[in-house]
Structure 1
Amino acid sequence: MFNLIEFLKNIFFPKKAASELVDNLKNSSELTNDQTHMLGNLLKLGNIQIRDIMVPRADIVSINIDSDFETTLKLFIEAAHSRLPVYKDQLDNIVGMLHVKDLLPYWQKNTKFSIEKVTRNVLFSSPAMLVNDLLEQMRATRTHLAIIVDEQGGTDGIVTIEDLVEEIVGEIEDEHDSKEKPLITTLDNGGLLVDARTNIIDLERALGIDFSNIELDEDTETVGGLISNISGKIPEVNDNIPEPKLGINFKILEADHRKIHKVLVSRGES
């Protein structure tokens, strides 16, 4: 039987060899659909640059090296992250990373707190670096956070090892990811705010529209898949995707290079 774990260990095989392996196995009963999907993602790693998956500068949550214990703890709670980049004076001068467990020795104790004393090393990477190369560096150095710097040395973004693993296995939800938010929210103007993971049937019910008169791939089940099917690609944020046959328009609110996350559905083709 095909051992996916062993294949993952050899993730850095030459692309041609990996392609031949997938070609030989993808139509066999030895691979599940999930394994085939992961293998396909593995092959793409050599073509995806870090700039395509990094958390952009504007979305970075970071901590000043001079922050006191209370400020630091509050920021960890609000951010719901286990690791935060540490900067000195400005975000373009990141000096390391702080892990939330590094706060434990100072919890309800009189020990003087100093971020500088517990700051951990981070990797620095170019936005043009390939995902598989950075993943190998992070694995080899056991580093879970990389700072992406531009040509002038400024901070362009950050990447966690979770971001890289998600390129292979898909999105990973943890205990902080809300599962209570409704997938479809009706807005005051009659539009629908829709999570792209929503089943097409649920959107049909919300709109009161039958989607059977449009051609879809057999495996299309979600709103995100529906939109990608209509547009023939994964749209970008702010793209408008009209569907004249249904008399509705999809506006992309959140997306990355892999998939759509959130859309605004409205009647009409605007």
Structure 2
Amino acid sequence: MPSSPEPEPSLLSVFNNSIKKFFKGRKKAADSSESSNLRETLEELIEEHIEDGGQPIPSDERELLGNLVNFTELTAADVMIPRVDIVALTLDSTEEDLLATFTRTRMQRIPVYRHTLDEILGVLHVQDVLAWKASGKKLNIKNMMKEVLFISPAMRALDLMYSLRQNGSRLAIVVDEFGGVDGLVSLTTIVEKIVGNIHDDQVEMEDELHKKPDGSIVADGRFALEEIEESMGLDLMVEDLEDEIETIGGLVSSLAGRVPVRGELIHHPKLPVQFEVVEADPRKVKRVKIRIAG
């Protein structure tokens, strides 16, 4: 019985093999001046696929391939979790706090700091926490910690991915020129930057901005201020504010002069606009309702 023809490999599988070869090539060329260009490799593969009469690329794959090509231009600052969203533990955390934090967040790795987030000492892995719990020994966070990688915001995300893989680490702390912590990057956040935009980010974007029948808008605190202004046809920025504000949550906090609490009403100083804090924590405004006062 004649064997059926083998299915044509998908373009994504070809990309996967290409990326593997890219990293192997970087490892071999580590001591030389030669360096592969992943962007050129990806673009060449797309062109070859089209020229060879390959099957049409589904829309989700097209978006993923576009993300991969653009990924070569991203830096650590583009893919990091911002400082305000970092979940971390103090060196003197209690057993209850440690277990509760891992359980609540379901994270595999959590940074540990001494007094402030700018004094990160290492990282705790959930496997080490589970091993400690099973041993019945007294908690000693310092002995359980692993070293953490510190990087510049300007480091290319592609180089960071290579460094994390090469060093066997999966987490890096982004620090500014003065040693202050700007954010956190893991292999997971890098991968999500590539593939997350196709699924998760689309769902999140729909949930971030809601126009209500009464004309009000409910927005995620991280929503771009410029987009809110375009949606409402108003210039919400205030000249007196010195800070560079990019999000609606940042504007509300700046107008209040602090992080307001849930339920608090903040009035715009020059426009008949009210901001109601729908959700907030001690560090940031997480959700806000915007309406024109009648």
Q: Do the two structures share a fold, i.e. TM-score over 0.5? A: yes
For the Cα contact (< 8 Å) 1:125–1:149, is it kept in 2? yes
Which ranges of 4 or more aligned residues in structure 1 deviate by more than 4 Å? 171-174, 181-190, 248-254, 262-268
Aligned to 1:218: none
Match of 2:43 among 9, 16, 19: 19
Q: Distance in 1 between matches of 2:147 and 2:155?
A: 19
How far the C-alpha of 1:103 sits from its partner, in A, is: 1.9
Residue-by-residue CA offset, 1:88-124 (whole Å, 9 max, x unaligned)? 2322121211122222234376411111111112221
How far the C-alpha of 1:253 sits from its partner, in A, is: 5.7
Q: Does 1:191 align with 2:216?
A: yes
CA RMSD of aligned residues (A): 3.9
Aligned to 1:159: 185
How far the C-alpha of 1:40 sits from its partner, in A, is: 1.8
Aligned to 1:4: 15
TM value normalised by structure 2 = 0.59
Q: Does 1:82 align with 2:108?
A: yes
Q: Does 1:238 align with 2:225?
A: yes
Q: Distance in 2 between matches of 1:26 and 1:121?
A: 46
For the Cα contact (< 8 Å) 2:15–2:42, is it kept in 1? no
How far the C-alpha of 1:83 sits from its partner, in A, is: 1.3
Residue-by-residue CA offset, 1:163-189 (whole Å, 9 max, x unaligned)? 111222225989xxx99x988867695
**Shift in alpha-carbon separation, 1:5–1:74, aligned structure 2, 3 A:** same
For the Cα contact (< 8 Å) 1:4–1:35, is it kept in 2? no
Aligned to 2:166: 140
Q: Which sections of structure 1, spanning at least 5 residues, go unmatched? A: 196-234, 255-261
3-state DSSP of counterpart to 2:72: helix
- Identity across aligned pairs (percent)? 32
**Shift in alpha-carbon separation, 1:63–1:150, aligned structure 2, 3 A:** same
TM value normalised by structure 1 = 0.64
Residue-by-residue CA offset, 1:150-207 (whole Å, 9 max, x unaligned)? 1112211111111111222225989xxx99x988867695535479xxxxxxxxxxxx
Aligned to 2:63: 37
Q: Which residue identity lines up with residue 18 of structure 1 in the other structure? A: L
Q: Distance in 1 between matches of 2:59 and 2:22?
A: 19
**Shift in alpha-carbon separation, 1:76–1:168, aligned structure 2, 3 A:** same
Q: Which entry has the higher C-alpha Rg, 1 or 2? A: 2
Q: Distance in 1 between matches of 2:156 and 2:62?
A: 22
**Shift in alpha-carbon separation, 1:171–1:162, aligned structure 2, 3 A:** farther
Q: Which sections of structure 2, spanning at least 5 residues, go unmatched? A: 1-8, 24-35, 237-246, 250-285
For the Cα contact (< 8 Å) 1:191–1:264, is it kept in 2? no
Q: Distance in 2 between matches of 1:59 and 1:183?
A: 17
**Shift in alpha-carbon separation, 1:263–1:153, aligned structure 2, 3 A:** closer
Q: Which residue identity lines up with residue 119 of structure 1 in the other structure? A: M
